[in-house]
Amino acid sequence: MTILTTSTGTALASDWEEAPQFGDGAPLPRVARADCRFTYEGDLTGTGECRYVFRYGPDGSCQILGFEQVSGTLAGRTGEFFLSHEGTFGASGLSVRSTIVPGSATGDLEGLTGTGTLDAGTGEDTCRWTLEHALP
């Protein structure tokens, strides 16, 4: 029997490196890529390493696609897993939907499945996350 659990916490981004794909002077709209790290606290403790692609619109709003490798402890189990991210950033802040990549979990987290969110208001350094997940 698989039980769905909701985990929550905060994530702080660091080591943010973003580069426009067509040079620093590229006008909007444009495409950029970014690499960063997250430090997770709450029901998940650990770190994540991300690779994102951004599509900025003429107004500066942003569509986000990316992947993240998460290493840490969730529900008392330690291991790694990948998240795929899809979201937006704009005047109201950051809103990302995440899916645990099927078959990506290792260690005590092997078999982990689920989806989640990552949100932050404009100007907030700390994101709130929620992950609805199941472990075998």
Per-residue pLDDT of 87-118, as tens digits, reads 999 999 999 999 999 999 999 999 999 999 99
What CATH number should be reported for the domain whose range is 4-21+28-134? 2.40.350.10
Q: Are strands 4-20 and 126-134 parallel, antiparallel or unpaired?
A: antiparallel
Tell me, what's the pLDDT at 1?
55
Burial level of 102, CB count in 10 A (0-12/13-18/19+)? Answer: exposed
**What is d(CA 19, CA 33) in angstroms, rounded to the nearest whole number?**
6
- Ordered by start, the domain boundaries in the chain are 4-21+28-134
Tell me, what's the pLDDT at 24?
66
* Three-state SS at 81: strand
Cis peptide before 29 (omega within 30 of 0): yes
**74-91 pLDDT tens trace:** 989 999 999 999 999 999
C-beta neighbour count of 129 within 10 angstroms:
24
pTM, two decimal places = 0.91
Beta strands in the chain (DSSP E): 4-20, 30-42, 44-56, 62-74, 77-90, 93-100, 113-120, 126-134
